[in-house]
Amino acid sequence: MLAGPTTPISPMCRALARTINMLTSAALVDIDRSEDDRTFFQDRAAMLAPLLATLLANKRALEEFDLGPGDANQAAVEIGDEVLDRGVRAGNTRAKLGLAHKTGLGAAHVFGDRVNSLTEAPLKLQPGLVREAVERLDDVPSFEDKVRIKSDRLARVELQEGQLKKRDEGYAARAKLESEGVRLVVEAADLLVQTKAALDGRFPRQRSYVARFFLDTSRKRKRGEDGGEGDEGTDAGGAAEG
Taking only the tens place, the pLDDT of each residue in 169-180 is 999 999 999 999
How many whole angstroms separate alpha carbon 210 and alpha carbon 193? 12
Taking only the tens place, the pLDDT of each residue in 98-149 is 999 898 999 999 999 999 999 999 999 999 999 999 999 999 999 989 999 9
Of the candidates 27, 46, 45, which has an alpha carbon nearest to the alpha carbon of residue 35?
A: 27
How many whole angstroms separate alpha carbon 123 and alpha carbon 170? 16
Phi, psi of 239 (to 5 degrees): -70, -25
- Which domains occur in the chain, in start order? 9-241 (1.20.1260)
pLDDT computed for residue 230 by the predictor:
43
- Report the amino acid identity of residue 133: A
Look at the chain and count its residues: 242
Averaged pLDDT for residues 3-11: 95
Averaged pLDDT for residues 164-190: 97
pLDDT computed for residue 241 by the predictor:
36
Of the candidates 22, 71, 13, 9, which has an alpha carbon nearest to the alpha carbon of residue 195?
A: 22
Taking only the tens place, the pLDDT of each residue in 192-242 is 999 999 999 999 999 999 999 999 987 665 555 444 434 445 444 443 333
In the chain, the N- to C-terminal Cα span, in Å, equals: 19
Whole-structure pTM value: 0.77
Q: What is the mean pLDDT of the chain?
A: 91
